[in-house]
């Protein structure tokens, strides 16, 4: 079965690599380090803990786990791999870790990486499962633990189509540390042995306490103007956000919309869309004070989402207005900041968390631009309701903290030998 997969991967590789290496505005380059994707990895001494976080979102989610690992095992090197250059850029900001690019899932590349690194434990963030990687890491005698694992109903149905391959992969994994009970149940339905599963909650609840002055400069610059943010937008969503903002401006002519695209290569395109709508725009990288006439502020930087979120009154989490294509993004960061939350109908990647926030009165679902504008306007017109929703979201976060410590306990048997 794996040889068929490897053949298909070989045929698809040129297209995958084109997307990975193609230069776009705002996207960091892999550069001369492209060899690492093929297993030509610089040696790492000391038999490190190897943690894989594919891109930016996984790196940011992994930071609390990285911190506790560094504190609990200060004498063991910590190697973090990413697949994308944007993920690499974020990983290299973390003090005390070693970064390498994750090899592509070719057997020769994985084996070359393992020879250079000799990890004592492989920790995979979320559900980044690659058949050849799992097989070769297991064959090398390296334990594999998947942490913060989630499996949506959509992903489960997709894996059921390749059930024999998935079952073979699961035999190479020592433990899957799930976020929620329904994630565990879906893994069981795919044939994963129950003794290889644990449930500890989502590490994303263990958000580091935010500095009080985070976003203060932008908040001060906008003054009393009502402000909302469209966070992590994807292609096809910006038009919805801009249409909603045009409606909001009818009742709140001084309102400000902050748009933060999910991918840096889209920054220029979004700026063009704003201009085409006849709205005045300002970019964060311009470094200029926010003008009173600015209607849309473009967050054209990476890794500063918490700053943008903290500077607003209402948060719309994007990736949720595109049908089943994306499935939403992290709702917990704005909840931890005490901001009222809005989402589109498709938030299945955060279904349990989203439903908990809805039940608490912290999150509302919007169906289209008009619905979105109405709900943003409702929060603007009743600040007390916005405050109440924000407090409800913060309470959900506080009640669910502790997953990072429980994850550390799950990893301990392989690290305390």
Scored b (16 or more CB within 10 A) or e, 171-192 reads: ebbebbbbbbebbbebbeebeb
What 3-state DSSP class applies to 208?
coil
- The partner residues of 370 in beta bridges, in order of sequence, read none
The alpha helices in 35-179, defined as continuous H runs, are 56-72, 85-91, 107-117, 131-139, 153-160, 163-171
Yes or no: say if 264 and 86 are a contact pair by the CB < 8 Å rule: yes
What 3-state DSSP class applies to 364?
strand
Whole-number Cα distances in Å, 227 to 33, 146, 218, 252: 41, 39, 11, 10
Exactly one of 36, 45, 58, 405 is catalytic; name it.
58
Q: Which of 109, 107, 106, 113 is nearest to 81 (CA)?
A: 113
Annotated catalytic, 333?
no
144-149/175-178 β-pairing: parallel
- The partner residues of 121 in beta bridges, in order of sequence, read 49
| Straight-line distance from the first to the last Cα atom of the chain, in angstroms, rounded to the nearest whole number | 35
- Catalytically active residues are 58
């Amino acid at each position: 079965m794996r040889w068929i997969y490897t053949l298909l991967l070989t045929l698809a590789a040129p297209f995958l690599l084109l997307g990975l290496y193609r230069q776009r505005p705002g996207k960091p380059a892999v550069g001369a380090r492209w060899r690492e994707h093929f297993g030509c990895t610089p040696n790492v001494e000391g038999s490190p803990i190897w943690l894989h976080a594919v891109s930016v979102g996984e790196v940011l989610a992994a930071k609390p786990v990285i911190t506790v690992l560094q504190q609990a095992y200060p004498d063991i090197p910590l190697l973090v791999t990413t697949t994308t250059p944007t993920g690499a850029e974020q990983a290299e900001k973390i003090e005390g870790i070693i970064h390498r690019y994750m090899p592509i899932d070719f057997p020769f590349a994985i084996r070359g990486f393992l020879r250079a690194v000799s990890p004592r434990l492989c920790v995979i963030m979320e559900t980044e499962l690659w058949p050849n990687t799992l097989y070769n890491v297991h064959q090398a005698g390296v334990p594999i633990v998947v942490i913060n694992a989630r499996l949506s109903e959509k992903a489960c149905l997709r894996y059921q189509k390749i059930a024999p391959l998935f079952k073979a992969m699961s035999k190479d994994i020592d433990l899957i540390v799930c976020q929620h009970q329904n994630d565990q149940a879906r893994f069981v339905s795919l044939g994963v042995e129950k003794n290889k599963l644990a449930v500890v909650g989502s590490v994303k609840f263990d958000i580091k306490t935010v500095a009080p002055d985070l976003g203060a400069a932008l908040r001060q610059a906008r003054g009393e103007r009502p402000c909302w943010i469209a966070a992590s937008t994807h292609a096809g969503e910006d038009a919805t956000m801009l249409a909603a903002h045009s409606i909001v401006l009818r009742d709140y002519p001084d309102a400000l919309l902050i748009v933060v695209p999910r991918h840096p290569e889209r920054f220029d395109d979004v700026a063009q869309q704003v201009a085409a709508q006849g709205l005045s725009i300002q970019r964060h990288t311009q470094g200029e004070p926010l003008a009173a006439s600015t209607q849309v502020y473009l967050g054209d930087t990476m890794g500063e989402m918490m700053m943008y979120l903290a500077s607003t009154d209402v948060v719309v989490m994007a990736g949720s207005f595109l049908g089943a294509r994306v499935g939403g993004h992290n709702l917990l960061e704005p909840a931890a900041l005490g901001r009222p939350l809005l989402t589109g109908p498709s938030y299945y990647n955060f279904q349990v968390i989203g439903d908990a926030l809805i039940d608490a009165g912290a999150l509302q679902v919007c169906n289209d631009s008009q619905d979105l504008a109405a709900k943003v306007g409702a929060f603007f017109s009743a600040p007390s309701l916005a405050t109440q929703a924000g407090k409800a979201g913060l309470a959900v976060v506080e009640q669910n903290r502790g997953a990072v410590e429980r994850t550390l306990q799950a990893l301990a048997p392989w690290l305390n030998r």
